[in-house]
Amino acid sequence: MKVVNKVTLGLATIALVFIGCGDGAKPAKVVKEEKAVASISEESLGLRKTDIYQEDDTISEKTEYRSAQAGTSTKIKRAFQDAPPMIPHDVTDFLPITRENNACVSCHAPDIASAMGATPIPPSHFLDMRPRHTCDGVKFKKTVDNTKNETDIKRLTHLNQARYNCSQCHAPQSQGNPSVENLFEANFTKKGGEFKSSWDEVMLDDLDTVGVDSRITSDDLDNSDSAAGHLDGAKH
């Protein structure tokens, strides 16, 4: 028993010698514990820059709409080609807009817009593009043949009442300091596109197309270039 203890003690001593005196051996470095320090405050998280746990002092910026009266405001450039133009003036006295009472047309009607210095309502708003299908309660009959690319477009002498709600597309703009700056730059496809639409030049072509083949050709109907096959009834 004593021999075994002596052998164990001797091996332990040799191990300490090798560890402490080996070539290139360095004493173990004591690492000092340091507490983590927050580098980002919770108030800096997000866009509102306030305490995320408190709502009492979190107040959004007040929206200030333009107060310029109609006829004295400056036009706003369109956001992109053919985007609905925005309203640059105050609309308080013009609301609500209804089918029976639409104050917008008093200045923007095409026949008086120029004299009022206003943007005229475009010709596309004086078109009826809804086919009038019929149904006698039993049989439904379409007035156009979609397979022949037929359309039903009629000119109107008055504003299409489907477009009476002007503020559905055209809206007043607020003045404010946005949290994120908008860096989008429009690339207009038409000269003067920031103030003028290009639809007026294409929507009035071939209006009388009911019952008459439009621009579709026999090759289009044959659909010979389609990977799905030819348009031949249910066989395509």
CA gap 115, 52 in Å, rounded: 54
DSSP state of 121: P
Cis amide bond preceding 172, omega within 30? no
Token representation of residue 193: 């596109």
List of the chain residues with pLDDT < 50 = 1-19, 208-211, 213-214, 233-236
pLDDT of residue 86: 92
> What pLDDT is recorded for position 200?
64
Burial class (CB in 10 A: 0-12, 13-18, 19+), 209: middle
Helix, strand, coil % (nearest 5) of the chain? 25, 5, 70
pLDDT in tens, 7-63: 444 444 444 444 455 555 566 677 777 777 667 776 666 777 777 677 777 777 777
Q: Would you state the pLDDT for residue 191?
A: 86
Residue type, 99: R
Q: How far apart are the first and last CA of the chain?
A: 98
Do residues 132 and 198 make contact, with C-beta atoms less than 8 angstroms apart? no
pLDDT in the model for residue 204: 53
CA distance 187 to 194: 9
CB within 8 A of 59, min separation 6: which ones? none
Q: Give the residue from 111, 115, 110 showing the smallest Cα distance to 71.
A: 115
Cβ distance 103 to 59 under 8 Å?
Answer: no
Residue with tokens 């985007």: 83
pLDDT at 154: 82
